[in-house]
Structure 1
């Protein structure tokens, strides 16, 4: 990868994450921090990025627009995937729901079920289900993350390990057909692994944009996934998955 390609990838990553540490960028691209700082200097001079808190962020003028764009960009697709999953969850079962905005949409789609027991560390999930008294919600303790509205840490992994649920539903930061599921935060990876280990049916929900090996925290290989809900499945990735994975293509809303 040459410097221009690397800088373009850095810019795309910052647009997704809002703020990225220099050390993480260097680790991701396998170069020195000095090389990354030279890349950042060039992009800051062009007004594409700004240095902030030991890393790099979007310019102030672009931050709000970027957040709104990211929220809207795949929202319809994610809602469709969430409804696909909800339609496959029967009444009266137990469900583990993990971290992420996509999992929150799954909870919103499940809110019309008459009877469920839900285990979660995600307070956006509890909020989505709060209006239905027929759904029992059990919430983990742990370290609260203000920006994510959830809790993480050993209390969460212990919590999910104390139960065996019928369905465990997770999302993921990135996917690679050889490595499997990956995340940017080791604490999120640990939550997903705990759910995968302690459920009978393991359901993954992730759209096609996740097919890029950019994260460095491994969650699990695809052999630990029973059903994979996505919008569209590229042929190259389809052939790389184990035959045991049931792929459900949900498409996108009109």
Structure 2
């Protein structure tokens, strides 16, 4: 399904608080309980929410991400603001490594007016977007293509990334846990992201507010390995303290 604006607002509220009652959601959205129940029914059938008696919560899975076409529509406005903030910070005439994710795809769209970029990516969607920018160059990593999101993963991809040292790595992530761990779902994707992080002079993380306290199975890195975080809301506790101690610059895209 493609959630409508009200359903997106409902999802964002549940993801921010991890769970909510139907009555709370009705009050938050300013609609009837019956409307909330219909929305919850549709969203739970799509696997975006899990229901319990009288309320809903975020799905429990730490081993499988939401489908790519669903993630494209989730938090789209926040991702758009993040992408614009990242694009404003990226200089012309620099080299970039960009990984898999709908947020990095939004960033690719925001980089279309840049000149002199050399972009290395394991994301076919990013490559397709930026290949239309005739003033920049795109290099696509080799490896196994995941049909569900056109991400390229595997040992060949890691070996390919090891050839480069770029100015900036632009990475997305599935979850940031309260101990500062950055986590994702696919072990093969994680190995590529780790290679990207280790082959960049600066690492910029782009993550909307729903990623804070979201659980995923595989550890990618720690906030201490990040130089700059772009997000769309002030991070909840304990993240401001973690970011300060790790000396990570936090940019809030308004």
Whether the TM-score (by the shorter chain) exceeds 0.5 is: yes
Structure 1's consecutive aligned runs of 4 or more residues displaced over 2 angstroms after TM superposition are 11-14, 25-29, 70-73, 240-243
Q: Is the 8 Å Cα contact of residues 212 and 235 (structure 2) preserved in structure 1?
A: no
The CA RMSD measured in Å over matched residues stands at: 2.8
Q: Hey, what does 1:19 align to over in structure 2?
A: none
Q: Hey, what does 1:15 align to over in structure 2?
A: 48
C-alpha deviation, 1:14, in angstroms: 3.5
- Once the two structures are superposed, the pairs formed by residues 151-170 of structure 1 within 5 Å of their partners are 151-170=152-171
1:192 is paired with a residue of what secondary structure? helix
C-alpha deviation, 1:71, in angstroms: 3.5
Q: Is the 8 Å Cα contact of residues 183 and 216 (structure 1) preserved in structure 2?
A: yes
- Once the two structures are superposed, the pairs formed by residues 7-86 of structure 1 within 5 Å of their partners are 14-15=47-48, 70-86=71-87
Q: Hey, what does 1:21 align to over in structure 2?
A: none
Q: Hey, what does 1:246 align to over in structure 2?
A: 249
Per-residue CA shift, 1:43-75, capped at 9, x if unaligned?
xxxxxxxxxxxx9xx9xxxx9xx956x533311
Aligned residues: 201
Residues 80 and 151 of structure 1, relative CA distance in 2, 3 Å threshold: same
Determine the C-alpha separation between the residues in 2 that align with 1:133 and 1:71.
25
C-alpha deviation, 1:188, in angstroms: 1.6
Determine the C-alpha separation between the residues in 2 that align with 1:192 and 1:141.
14
Work out whether 1:183 is the aligned partner of 2:184: yes
Per-residue CA shift, 1:192-228, capped at 9, x if unaligned?
1111100001000001101124211000011100000
Residues 164 and 219 of structure 1, relative CA distance in 2, 3 Å threshold: same
Residues 163 and 178 of structure 1, relative CA distance in 2, 3 Å threshold: same
C-alpha deviation, 1:246, in angstroms: 0.4
Task: Calculate the TM-score normalised by the size of structure 1.
Answer: 0.72
Determine the C-alpha separation between the residues in 2 that align with 1:82 and 1:100.
12
Contiguous gaps of at least 5 residues in structure 2 = 1-18, 20-39, 50-58
Q: Is the 8 Å Cα contact of residues 98 and 192 (structure 1) preserved in structure 2?
A: yes
C-alpha deviation, 1:26, in angstroms: 9.0
